[in-house]
Structure 1
Amino acid sequence: MSKFEIIKHIHYGKCNDVFISRDSKGNKYAVKRFYKSELEKTKCYTNRQGKLVRKDWLEDFKRSLEIQLMVDDDSCIRCHAVFGIDLSKEVPVIEDEIELVFDFAECGSLMDLESFDVPIVEFPKKVVKCIAKDVLQALHYLSTINVAHRDVKPNNIFMNKHGRSKLGDFGESDLMTKDGKVRGSKGSYYYLAPEVFELNNDEKDGSAIDMWALGVTLWILYFRRFPFSPNNSMYESMEEVQNFNFKKEIEVLKRSYEGSGEEWDEDFVDLLGKILENDPNLRIKPKEALNHPSLSDVDYEVARLFCLKNQKSPL
């Protein structure tokens, strides 16, 4: 880490800490420091017989890191350097601390939903449209390199001082098959697509799964409310998501807007409906969504001014 100077500690976590760092030219980065001992603990669980089972955390870490290093587009948070682990060896060399150096986003993630609180700041609807366009660009890019993010949510979307949003945290990501398929259930269950809850082990369209998660995210940011009950158990969420009726829910919302003076954008609601399509085969693709009329008037200057006002760090 001699090339990067740590200048501020901005996040304390169980398995990792996050710092703001600076290189010799004064460029700022986010450094995520993982602790090997804590990573090992996260892969321990007790089975039905009461025995402690130890899974190989390294395989998951290697997979996510290899995918993160593949990602090279302005729409995503990129990893610029890795310290403490050498994947080039047949048996990886691992130090007690592993550090990854990422793009630094001055405004941080869009919001912290761990406790399902409302956003810390209210996102103007014009800013939400900027976010939508940027993340759609990220999802389109990922589809071209056969990567499914698998955990699209407000926590994993970051904004920089220029008002641009970037998709980050590829810890749950998967490489898709040649025809764009993934298997299994991953990510935060509140954002899982209806098809993921189906009781079969069939392969699913990875990009379509990410699109649904983006739809839930945009609903939360745009309407400042949740499309599903945030306090549901996973099984309750499964039922609610599979029975979700976009047109019905939108009609209820639209009535609540009448007389409120709040803006109602029919074009954007139309796009949202195409993203939150229950049938993954009919769900709009990222590239098609980028050309939707609702995103033709996106104004990044509005987003830049919003970020200037809400920038977390003065550094």
Structure 2
Amino acid sequence: MSRGSLFQRAPIPEAKFQKTEDVTKERDADGKKRINQYVVGELLGQGTFGRVKLCHDTVTGNRYAMKVFRKQQLMRKKDFQNEGPGRGMSVTTALSKVYNEIEMMESYSCHPRCVNLVEVLEHQDSQKIYVVMTLGEVGSLLTYDECEGTYTAPVPGEWIPASSQSTQCSSRSSTSRGRSLAIPEPIAKCFIKDALEGIAHLHEHGIVHRDIKPDNFFITTQGRVLLGDFTVASKVDEHGRVRGTEGTYSFMPPECCTPTDESQEYSGHDGRAADMWALGVTVWVVLFGSLPFQKANLKELFESIAECQYRIPPDAPVSPEGLHFIQAVLVKDATNRLTAKDALAHPWVSTADFSQLPAYIEAALKVKEERAKKAAEDASVSGSSSFTGILRP
């Protein structure tokens, strides 16, 4: 669907987090580290730029995620960004990306479908930055296994009763019945609707995420999705455009994988449309448990994406509305892709039924507990330390 040439930004609400320069570090009587009023707990995840830890606010009683960054290390990490034909490369440090994430989270302020800033603690002379954020306790929407090249759902797909699967598959080939989805379609619709509300909010405020993928959708104990990790997010120009490429290769849109004519001036690409393409790839992964574009090397991957070469599994147990949604988002021409607002009105999304979420989340928490117990047992046997990550920064 075509867009207007001008991009209208919604007014930005007042930020509701605080910045603190007076940072005190100490240990409680039981040896637990405390940063101001936050008692620091278990390690939740390890990212490229820093660690994510669970923390408990002793004033409010709330639990949050705390990202911990070492500034000296981040200053040594350089990132080279291609600015487009004739514009060369720009160089930024990892530290600048951390500050960018904070700035982006300031810009969109609080929203129930986004990870929100609670507090940034940074003493002028300190070598660390502590970023306190709202927490998705259940973990990522899907977890990527780099060794296997596959995604793992919070709960096995067979969680949906066989009778429900048969109903879903009635319009498809009979060979599809009983085949598990990465996440059952009725549950997936709820998660995607939540994610779209977060994406739409960002786009309304002139911000694009630029790294939409299942790993960056975090689930709360209420079963709601929080869109997180704004490391490479950026503000768009008045036409909704951004420059250069950011994000994860397999989720990049055709317009970022197509060689540019050197004779033409590069004017960037529509960041909102790129986000929506990545959302389409995410829906594919959520429903099918695999990526739509998988090739042996980067060159072949980009060529496949540029030509929009994907094939929906013929026996996929997905409703016609679900298949139509995927095909309406994974469109080669960015101007014909659904916008976030359009996608929220699509029948597949608008009919999401949240009544089954409590049972699914209960099962997910049980699976998470069992996995954590097994990881602890394996670590005990091997004599090495281990952790079960539920957030990936």
User: Which band: TM-score by shorter chain?
Assistant: 0.7 to 0.9
Residue identity opposite 1:279 in structure 2 = D
User: Structure 2 residue aligned with 1:6, among 36, 40, 43?
Assistant: 40
**Aligned counterpart, 1:189:** 249
What is the TM-score with the length of structure 2 in the denominator? Answer: 0.69
CA contact (8 A) 2:49 2:94 kept: no
Counting only pairs closer than 5 Å after superposition, residues 300-315 of structure 1 correspond to structure 2 as 300-311=354-365, 312=368
2:171 maps to which residue? none
Counterpart residue type for residue 97 of structure 1: K
- Going from structure 1 to structure 2, the CA distance change for 1:94 and 1:202 (only over 3 Å counts) comes to farther
Deviation at 1:284, TM superposition (A): 0.6
Count residues in correspondence: 289
How far is 1:94 from its partner? 5.8
Name the counterpart of 2:164. Answer: none
> Which residue of 267, 289, 292 corresponds with 2:346?
292
Using CA pairs under 8 Å that are at least 6 residues apart, name the structure with larger relative contact order, 1 or 2.
2
Q: One-letter code of the match for 1:146?
A: G
How far did residue 244 of structure 1 move? 2.1
* SS of 2:281 mapped into structure 1: helix
Partner of 2:73: 38
Deviations 1:255-297 (A, max 9, x none): x34xxxxx33001111111111110000011101101111232
**1:65 match:** 102
Q: How does 1:1-315 map to 2 (within 5 A)?
A: 1-13=35-47, 15-23=49-57, 24-43=59-78, 55-71=92-108, 72-84=110-122, 93=124, 95-113=126-144, 115=146, 116-120=149-153, 121=155, 122=157, 123-200=183-260, 201-229=266-294, 232-245=296-309, 249-250=311-312, 253-254=313-314, 256-257=315-316, 263-311=317-365, 312=368
Give how far 1:14 is off: 5.4
**C-alpha distance in 2 between matches for 1:109 and 1:28:** 17
Provide the secondary structure at the position in 2 that maps to 1:95.
coil
Please give the secondary structure, in 2, of the residue aligned with 1:113.
Answer: strand
Tell me the percent identity: 28
- SS for the counterpart of 2:331 is coil
The answer (yes or no) to whether the contact 2:66–2:130 under 8 Å persists in 1 is yes
The answer as to whether partners of 1:163 and 1:305 remain within 8 angstroms in 2 is no
Q: SS of the counterpart of 2:352?
A: coil
Deviations along 1:177-202, one digit per CA (max 9) or x if unpaired, are: 12211111101111000001233333
Q: Deviations over 1:100-132 (max 9, x none)?
A: 001111111122326122314431111111111
Contact 1:14 1:38 in 2 (8 A): no
Report the CA distance shift for 1:56/1:280 in structure 2 as closer, same or farther (over 3 A). Answer: same
Quick one: which amino acid aligns to residue 270 of structure 2? D
Q: Is the 8 A contact 2:293 2:309 kept in 1?
A: no
**What displacement does 1:224 show?**
1.9
Note the residue ranges of structure 2 that are not aligned, 5 or more in a row. Answer: 1-34, 81-89, 158-182, 261-265, 373-393
Q: Secondary structure at the match of 2:267?
A: coil
Moved more, 294-303 or 169-178: 294-303
- Superimposed CA distance per residue, residues 233-260 of structure 1 (whole angstroms, 9 cap, x where no aligned partner): 22211101112245xx13xx12x34xxx
Offset of residue 55 of structure 1:
4.7
Question: Which of 57-66 and 31-40 deviates more?
Answer: 57-66
**Superposed displacement of residue 232, structure 1:** 3.4
Contact 1:164/1:300, CA 8 A, preserved across alignment: no
State the distance in 2 between where 1:289 and 1:189 align. Answer: 23
Which residue identity lines up with residue 10 of structure 1 in the other structure?
L
Between 21-30 and 300-309, report the one with greater CA deviation.
Answer: 300-309
